[in-house]
Amino acid sequence: MTILTTFLNISLIISLRSVSNNRSLEELAWDLRLLFQLIKNNDPDIPQENYTRLHQILTDNNISVDTALQNLSPNCEDAFQRCKWKGEEKRCESIFEPIKSSEGFCCTFNYFALKNLTFSRILVNRVENRPRRVSACGYQTGLELLLDNKPHDYFASHIPSIGYRIFIHNPYYFPDWTLQNILSGMKMLDLISVTSTMTYSSDTIRNMDIGTRDCLFPTK
Ligand SMILES: *[C@@H]1O[C@H](CO)[C@@H](O)[C@H](O)[C@H]1NC(C)=O
Ligand SMILES: *[C@@H]1O[C@H](CO)[C@@H](O)[C@H](O)[C@H]1NC(C)=O
Ligand SMILES: *[C@@H]1O[C@H](CO)[C@@H](O)[C@H](O)[C@H]1NC(C)=O
Ligand SMILES: *[C@@H]1O[C@H](CO)[C@@H](O)[C@H](O)[C@H]1NC(C)=O
């Protein structure tokens, strides 16, 4: 499961300096909103010069696009107030890891798509080496989270709404825009369940012509 935290905090924008030009803080902040366009370039009407200005700001500050986005997005510690796994309270930073997805920086739980993913900061020796599984139905045996939406520090977002986007996916899949996602709004209790489906073939398909069957057996 991956939680998209891509909104930009204005308080963090203040920490960026504009060295070579005389732009006000407000102008600087508006230019930084363009960072979103670099994730999903879906507005052809933005003039080229705005991108040039953004590039200049980043160059002046000697920071990359990734670093800027990472610093302006809320971090996982700020986003999560409380975390429980199977009813047991956990330190959120020990089960959530910041990752880069096709939608920007996210916090992810139970993610194994990148083999070298490490919980570099904390509890390294207690990292699971394969996906966690629930042992029964019901929210008490799953993951419970208390999220802080920080509605007063919400300068830019992908969608015109306050809330976190939650992507439910296979632990081995890279989270991208094709996944079903849920918007978790403010002052809401969301109960999200997953229904699993298994598809298998019986042995009789061995007799089918390979062109019709369109797959090989492991032994072939
Ligand atoms: C910035 O503004 C000040 C005063 O308005 C001016 O003296 C200075 O030359 C400007 N600097 C640049 C790099 O434009
Ligand atoms: C592009 O820059 C101009 C001039 O600063 C500004 O008025 C306009 O709002 C910017 N457009 C976007 C989409 O940021
Ligand atoms: C820019 O950052 C890099 C890496 O952090 C550093 O090696 C380099 O010296 C910096 N350049 C300037 C001009 O500050
Ligand atoms: C993880 O692996 C990817 C792909 O091999 C590589 O680009 C990235 O630098 C690695 N990250 C770390 C922290 O080793």
Going by CA atoms, what residue is nearest to atom 12 of ligand 2?
Answer: 46
Atom of ligand 4 nearest to the CA of 120: 13
Going by CA atoms, what residue is nearest to atom 6 of ligand 4?
Answer: 116
Mean pLDDT of 201-219: 85
Amino acid at site 207: N
Model pLDDT, residue 3: 65
Tell me, using a 6 A CB cutoff, whether residue 22 lines ligand 1.
Answer: yes
Atom of ligand 2 nearest to the CA of 30: 14
CA distances from 11 to 1, 40, 43, 46 (A): 28, 24, 26, 25
Calculate how far, in angstroms, residue 62's C-alpha sits from the geometric centre of ligand 3. Answer: 6
Model pLDDT, residue 21: 54
Atom of ligand 2 nearest to the CA of 43: 13
Model pLDDT, residue 146: 93
* Ligand 4, CB cutoff 6 Å, lining residues: 114, 116
- pTM (2 decimals)? 0.72
Calculate how far, in angstroms, residue 70's C-alpha sits from the geometric centre of ligand 3. Answer: 18
The better pLDDT of the pair 114, 4 is held by: 114
Say whether pLDDT at 189 is over 80: yes
Ligand 1, from 19, 20, 22: best to mutate by most atoms within 8 Å of Cβ?
Answer: 22
Model pLDDT, residue 75: 81
Going by CA atoms, what residue is nearest to atom 2 of ligand 1?
Answer: 22
Per residue in 20-39, pLDDT (tens digit) is 456 677 788 888 888 888 88
Instruction: Provide the 3-class DSSP secondary structure of residue 71.
Output: helix
Positions of E strands within the chain: 2-4, 7-8, 80-85, 88-90, 96-101, 104-109, 143-147, 156-157, 164-167, 181-184
Nearest CA among 206, 175, 216, 219 for reference residue 5: 175
In percent, how much of the chain has pLDDT > 90?
9
Nearest CA among 167, 172, 219, 179 for reference residue 3: 167
Mean pLDDT of 141-147: 91
Say whether pLDDT at 130 is over 90: no
The better pLDDT of the pair 145, 4 is held by: 145
Tell me, using a 6 A CB cutoff, whether residue 70 lines ligand 2.
Answer: no
Model pLDDT, residue 199: 84
Going by CA atoms, what residue is nearest to atom 10 of ligand 4?
Answer: 116
Ligand 4, from 97, 111, 116, 174: best to mutate by most atoms within 8 Å of Cβ?
Answer: 116
Per residue in 50-97, pLDDT (tens digit) is 999 889 888 888 888 888 888 888 888 888 999 999 999 999 988 888
Model pLDDT, residue 121: 47
